[in-house]
Homo-oligomer: A and B are copies of this chain.
Amino acid sequence: MDMSVLWDMSYGVYAVGALDGERLCGCIANSAMQISVEPPTIAVSINKENFTHEVLTRTGRFTLSLFSEQNAPLDITYLGFQSGRERDKFAKVEHGITPEGLPFVTDNACGYLSCKVIGSADCHTHTVFLAEVTDAVRLSDNKPMTYDYYHKVIKGKTPKNAPTYQGK
């Protein structure tokens, strides 16, 4: 059994943005994908220990920002490597706010999706949230950042709670 094969699956780099009362929160996700075209739905896998998991379960609303190769790696550091329980993760990240009050990453991102949770599937350490895309806004024509690019070009690390954590 050579688990390194799993590391050859391809992903993008995304920021999940959510709203805890009046407080902005979120996290970094790479396991996100489109499920159906009509109506447009996506799935995203979130670790149950993440504060964002708690907020998504409670509010059912989030944004998914699509990072481009021009996004500052620090955006990933701020959103992915500290907990929203203690910190305002968006304080140092260039962001906008949707009409519903949800944060999304600007700073050269490709764009963002506004999402409404329509279902979920429990899967051990993670929950797969299924969500309908209620709005989609393009912010740039930059090249989408792949997870591979983040690792190999930016030399980025993976948080311990990520579905694709490789133990190093």
What residues make up the interface of A, taking CB atoms closer than 8 Å to B? 1-6, 8-12, 14, 31-43, 45, 66, 110-113, 118-126, 128, 130, 133, 135-138, 144, 146-148, 163-165, 167
Contact B146 A10 (CB under 8 A): yes
Query: A41, B8: Cβ atoms under 8 Å?
Result: no
Q: How far in angstroms is the closest Cβ of chain B from A43?
A: 6
Copies held by the complex: 2
Q: Which residues of B contact A118 (CB under 8 A)?
A: 123
Cα distance A137–B85 when bound, in Å?
40
CB distance from A121 to the nearest CB of B (A): 4
A66 to chain B, nearest CB (A): 5
In chain B, what residue has the closest Cβ to A129?
B121
> Residue of B at shortest CB range from A136?
B5
Shortest CB–CB separation between residue A110 and chain B, in angstroms? 4
